[in-house]
Amino acid sequence: ASDHEIKVELKLDGDNLLISVIDQGVGIPKEDLDKVFDRFYRASNAVDQQGSGLGLSVVKLLMDAMDGEISVASEVGTGTTFVLAFPTCVPSQLLVAT
């Protein structure tokens, strides 16, 4: 078991609700960052970590379905930050004409 914290931050930014997930893990190498949302992709330094490489691709599909975005920033040896940006709407935008 790891003793590293995972921090979750919520923030309203204009028309978006931002959810940041920040860890202090091994980090993702720069050359792997553009591939982390591909199905079955595993970072080159994740050999000793469990997983199938599906999780982030599913999150990306869900964010796309909700007109949201997901981004990643990482530094090897320091950790990784994922930011989920959900579009906000006012109640009048939720009304459907009948």
Instruction: Supply the pLDDT for residue 12.
Output: 94
Instruction: Supply the pLDDT for residue 63.
Output: 93
Residue 88 per-residue DSSP state: P
Across the strands, what pairs with 83?
20, 71
Residue 29 per-residue DSSP state: -
> Which structure tokens are listed for 15?
């028309």
List, for residues 18-70, the tens digit of each pLDDT value. Answer: 999 999 988 888 988 888 888 876 666 666 667 666 778 899 999 999 899 99
N- to C-terminal Cα distance for the chain?
Answer: 54
The domains located in the chain, with CATH, are 6-94 (3.30.565.10)
Dist. CA 17–CA 40, nearest whole Å = 28
